[in-house]
Amino acid sequence: MKTIGNYLKEARVRKKYSREKLEQETKIKKEFIEAIEKEDWIKLPDYTVVVGFIKSLAQAVGILPSQAVAFLRRDYPPKKVDVNPKPDLKSKFSWSPKLTFIASIFIILLLVIGYLTFQYVKFMSPPKLFIDSPTQGQVITSYEVKISGETDKDASIKVNNQPILVSEEGTFSGTVEIFEGTMEIDVRAISRSGKETQIVRKIQVELK
């Protein structure tokens, strides 16, 4: 059975053209001409380029381009041979239910890890502590001084080593006894991990 390769070769031989001569006539490299005659499609460019080659070669050797193209369409195996190999291209990305599930698990894991990290850092950090009363240098004229402020809701408060109750919101308020010669109020907030935050307020005791 006549194929595109031997069809063009026979016409070239009848024309008494060498491949070099045909290269000069068509400006098609002789390596491509040889590959077409041998039907070595791997060495050739893309199919559409090969069609152009076939038409030019057919005209040069005196055969009908339409007949030559018809042979090419019959003999060319685009589904079997990878013509003009190129680097593999990534398939078009499409979102799938499986990816949604994986992404959801990943996000949940990130949230859990983030929450646990936050809780650990919070647990290991000293508690916050703000003192509203007494103020620095406040003059105290009685045997009791009011203590108030804010800390972490899970922290405990000690004022001059006396415990003060902390509310569920983290505020605290109470009184502590002082004596002649007391010069400062030592307030300590203590976290569950034993970390402490200390504020010392200087006071002036002027008992009546």
Query: Residue 71's domain is classified under what CATH number?
Result: 1.10.260.40
* Domain assignment of residue 145, yes or no: yes
Cα–Cα–Cα angle for 135, 137, 140, rounded to 5 degrees: 85
- Judged against a pLDDT cut of 70, whether residue 136 lies above it is answered with yes
Q: What percent of the chain has pLDDT over 70?
A: 92
Query: Phi/psi at 152 (nearest 5 deg)?
Result: -70, 145
* Domain assignment of residue 158, yes or no: yes
* Domain assignment of residue 94, yes or no: no
- Which residues lie below 8 Å from residue 207, measured CB to CB, with a gap of 6+? 140, 141, 142, 143, 180
DSSP E strands in the chain: the ranges are 129-133, 138-140, 144-151, 156-159, 162-164, 171-177, 184-190, 196-205
Q: Find the helix packing angle between 47-61 and 30-38, rounded to 10°.
A: 100
Query: Phi/psi at 186 (nearest 5 deg)?
Result: -100, 110
* Domain assignment of residue 160, yes or no: yes
- For range 175-194, the mean pLDDT: 88
User: At which of 75, 92, 111 does a domain end?
Assistant: 75
User: At which of 56, 75, 94 does a domain end?
Assistant: 75
| pTM score above 0.85 | no
Is the distance from CB of 201 to CB of 134 less than 8 angstroms? yes
- For range 15-26, the mean pLDDT: 91
Tell me, yes or no, whether 71 and 134 share the same domain. Answer: no
- pLDDT at residue 113, rounded to an integer: 94
Task: Report which of residues 180 and 159 the model is more confident about.
Answer: 159
Q: Distance (Å, rounded) from C-alpha 122 to C-alpha 120?
A: 5
* Domain assignment of residue 56, yes or no: yes
Task: Give 126's DSSP letter.
Answer: P
Closest CA to 187 of 154, 150, 153: 150
- pLDDT at residue 86, rounded to an integer: 55
Q: Distance (Å, rounded) from C-alpha 74 to C-alpha 96?
A: 40
* Domain assignment of residue 33, yes or no: yes
Name the domain count of the chain: 2
- Judged against a pLDDT cut of 50, whether residue 185 lies above it is answered with yes
Q: Distance (Å, rounded) from C-alpha 168 to C-alpha 154?
A: 8
- For range 178-196, the mean pLDDT: 88
User: At which of 75, 98, 114 does a domain end?
Assistant: 75
Compute the mean pLDDT over every residue in the chain, rounded to the nearest whole number: 87
Closest CA to 122 of 149, 153, 145, 96: 153
* Domain assignment of residue 117, yes or no: no
Q: Which range of residues forms the domain containing residue 60?
A: 4-75
- pLDDT at residue 112, rounded to an integer: 95
> What are the pLDDT digits (tens) for 70-128?
988 988 876 554 445 555 555 567 788 888 899 999 999 999 999 999 988 888 889 99
- Domain containing residue 176: CATH number: 2.60.40.10
Is residue 138 very low, low, confident or very high in pLDDT (cuts 50, 70, 90)?
Answer: confident
* Domain assignment of residue 191, yes or no: yes
